[in-house]
Amino acid sequence: MARPTIVAVDDDPQVLAAVRGDLRAQYAGEYRIVAADSGAAALEAVRELKTRGEEVALFLVDQRMPQMTGTEFLLEARPHFPRAKEVLLTAYADTEAAIQSINEVGLDYYLMKPWDPPEEALYPVLDDLLADWQATYRAPFQGIRVIGPRWSAETHDLTDFLARNQVPYRLVDTEADPEAESLIEAAAVEALPAVLLPDGSTLSRPAIRDIAEKVGLQVEATAPFYDLIIVGAGPAGLAAAVYGASEGMRVAAIERQATGGQAGQSARIENYLGFPTGISGGDLARRATTQAKRLGAEILTAVEVVGINVDDQTKVVKLSDGSELACKAVVIASGMTVRKLEIPGYERFTGAGVYYGASVAEGAAYRDQDVFVVGGANSAGQAAMMFSRFAGTVSLIVRGPDLESTMSRYLIDQIGATENIEVMTSSKIKEVEGAQHVERAVVFDSSSGAEHQRSVSGIFIFIGAVPHTAFLEDVVALNDRGFVLTGPDLLVEGRNRPDWPLDRDPYLQETSVPGIFAAGDVRHGVVRRVASAVGQGSICISMVHKYLESV
C-alpha cells in the first residue's frame, strides 16, 4: 500500500533542497516526500497523486513564489485533498500574509525561515499536525476506480465485467460521490464512464477488451494453431481445459465475458461434491481457471467466437476481433445466454435497476433497499439468499405455483427460514416504472387476478436463458430450440445422418461434424447442473483423444 505523501513547494533551489532533506530525515519511514520548485509543478504532482488514488497528508509551501503564491497554491490544491494539513513557509516580511491566510483560508500553521535546528523549529509542529491527520486517516482504496453515474448501463457493463472477473474496484458515482468532480478534473477525464487504473492512467469510455487487457487478462492467443480450442469457459469448458492441458494437449479456451459462466454468478453452491460448507460460483471459477492455466491452458477473455469453418480435418475458429485460430478439434461449451424479456420498462431500465444476473458487488450496492429477484430455479434462489444479507427486503417473483418443482430442497428451506425474503408464487412483473432508474413495479398475481404496485430499487432476472449457439447455425446440427445435437441424438430413423462422413458412429458428445464436440448446458437433453457440466467437460477429452488418434 502506498505511503501518504508530504508535498514541499519552494522556488528557491537551496531552500527546497534543505526542506526535502529535513523532511526525509524525519518522515521518510512513514511518508513519501514529493518536492516541487513551483506552484504549477506541484499542482501537476497533486493531480497525478489524486489520479493514482494516493493520499496527501501535509502541504509545506513557500508563500512568496512567482506566478503563484503559497496561499494561491493551497486554494487550488485543497479540492483534491481537503483533509491535508496546510503549512506556509514565510520570511519575516511575509508574516502578515501568513496571518491573513490563517484567517481567510483556514491555514493550519506558518513557519518562519530559517527553521534551524529542525528538531526544535520544524519537527514538533509537523509532528502535531501529522498526528491529527493520522487520527482520522483511512487508507484509500488502491485498486481500480470506475467513475460514472450509478444508473448508467455503460457504467454497469464495466463494473459487471470487473466483478465477474473478480477484479477489485470502487465505483465513484458522479451523481452522489463528492470526490467525483475532483477526480474527473485531476485525471483529465474526457468522457464517462471512465476507469482510473492504479498506475495513474485513465481510460474514458473504454471497450471491455481494453479493460481486460489492462487488468492482466489474456485477450490474444500466443499461437495460430492448437490441438484443441474450447468455446466457453464455464464449468464444462474449464473442466475440458484442465483435463486437455493435463494430458499434454495445446489448449486455448475462449470466453466472451468471464470464466465460470452462469455458475460463476452463483452466490453459493452448496451441493457441489467436496465442499461441505458450499462455495461461491466465483471462487469455484477462480480455482478452476488457475488450475487450467497452471497446467498450460490459455484462457482468452473478452473475445467472442463468431463462426467456425471446417477445412477437411482443420477447424478454423473466427473471433470477434477479426482474427482466426486453427485447431484439430473443438469443444463447444458456450452454455446459455440471457434472452431479454419484453416487459414494459425492462429495456429502458436495463443497467439502471433492471439486471440479468447479479454479483455480490451488486448485492452490497443495494444495502437496506427493496429488491426483486425474478425466477424459480436454483440461480434465483441463490441470488435471493445473497441479497438477503444486504437488502431491506427481497421479493422472489415466481411464475409457477410453488418452488418444489424447480429449486433444490436446501435452498427452499434456507429461503423459508430467512425473514426478509418474501416468496410471491403465481406472479409476474407486468410493468416497471421510474424517472432515471427503477422506482416501482406492477406485479400481477395470476391466482387471484389482482395487480398491485410495489416500490423497488432493483430487479434481478434469472429466467429466459437460451443456448448460445447462433455462431453454429450453419456449422453443426441443432434442435429446434438451438441446442447442439450430439451422439445418439444425431440418429435419423436409427441410423447416422446421411451427411455423416465417417464409417464409425459419432462419439457420445460429438456433433454432426467429426472433431467438433459439445459439453455442458449447450447440449440437447442434458442435466443442467454444475457437476454434470464438469463431468461432461472432463470425459469429452477422452473422445477428443480418440478422434485425434484417428486423423
Q: Yes or no: say if 85 and 160 are a contact pair by the CB < 8 Å rule.
A: no
Decide if 257 is inside a domain. yes
Joined together, the cell numbers standing for residue 42 give 506541484
Co-location of 13 and 116 in the same domain: yes
Beta strands at 85-90 and 144-148: parallel, antiparallel or unpaired: unpaired
Decide if 192 is inside a domain. yes
Co-location of 9 and 123 in the same domain: yes
Beta strands at 336-338 and 465-467: parallel, antiparallel or unpaired: antiparallel
Backbone angles phi, psi at 314, to 5 degrees: -100, 135
Of 135, 153, 184, the residue at which a domain comes to its end is 135
Which residue type is seen at 229? I
3-state DSSP call for residue 257? coil
CATH, residue 16 = 3.40.50.2300
Co-location of 264 and 194 in the same domain: no
Q: Strands, E, within 320-426: which ranges?
A: 324-332, 336-338, 354-356, 370-374, 393-397, 421-424
Of 393, 428, 463, the residue at which a domain comes to its end is 463
Question: How is 353-370 classified by DSSP, letter by letter?
Answer: TEEES--HHHHHHTTTSE
Number of domains in the chain: 4
What is the distance in angstroms between the CA of the first residue and the CA of the last residue of the chain? 54
3-state DSSP call for residue 34? strand
What's the pLDDT at 94? 67
Decide if 528 is inside a domain. yes
What's the pLDDT at 528? 87
Co-location of 234 and 290 in the same domain: yes
Co-location of 459 and 470 in the same domain: no
Of 180, 214, 248, the residue at which a domain comes to its end is 214
Co-location of 327 and 380 in the same domain: no
Round to whole Å and give the CA distance between 275 and 529: 15
Bond before 117 cis per omega within 30 degrees: yes
What's the pLDDT at 262? 86
Q: Per residue in 2-55, pLDDT tens?
A: 789 999 999 999 999 999 999 999 999 999 999 999 999 999 999 999 988 889
Is-above-0.75 flag for pTM?
Answer: yes
Decide if 220 is inside a domain. no
CATH, residue 171 = 3.40.30.10
Co-location of 125 and 9 in the same domain: yes
Q: Would you call 550 exposed, middle or buried from its count of C-beta atoms within 10 A (0-12, 13-18, 19+)?
A: exposed
CATH, residue 444 = 3.50.50.60
Co-location of 199 and 246 in the same domain: no
Co-location of 454 and 500 in the same domain: no
Round to whole Å and give the CA distance between 490 and 506: 8
What's the pLDDT at 460? 95
Rounded to the nearest 10 degrees, what angle do helices 95-105 and 70-77 cross at? 20
Decide if 172 is inside a domain. yes
Count of CB atoms situated within 10 Å of the CB of 239: 28
Residue whose cell numbers read 522556488? 11
For residue 480, the enclosing domain spans 225-337+466-550
Instruction: Tell me which DSSP letter residue 480 carries.
Output: T
- Tell me which residue of 298, 141, 143, 297 sits closest to 215, measured CA to CA: 143
Helix (H) or strand (E) segment spanning residue 213: helix 208-214
Sign, CA dihedral 152-158-159-160, equals positive
Decide if 219 is inside a domain. no
Co-location of 473 and 333 in the same domain: yes
Co-location of 210 and 240 in the same domain: no
- Tell me which residue of 514, 500, 359, 366 sits closest to 437, measured CA to CA: 366
Decide if 370 is inside a domain. yes
Regions in the chain scoring below 50 on pLDDT: none
Co-location of 378 and 474 in the same domain: no
Residue 385, Ramachandran bin (φ over 0: left; ψ between -120 and 50: alpha; else beta): alpha
Which residues make Cβ contacts (< 8 Å) with residue 113, sequence separation at least 6?
15, 89, 90, 91
Decide if 245 is inside a domain. yes
Q: In what order do the strands lie in the sheet with 427-433?
A: 427-433, 440-445, 450-455
Residue whose cell numbers read 444486504? 390
- Tell me which residue of 291, 330, 290, 294 sits closest to 309, measured CA to CA: 330
Q: What burial letters (b/e) apply to 103-133, b meaning 16+ CB within 10 Å?
A: eeeebbbbbebebeebeeebbebbeebbeeb
Residue whose cell numbers read 528557491? 12
Q: Yes or no: say if 396 and 381 are a contact pair by the CB < 8 Å rule.
A: yes
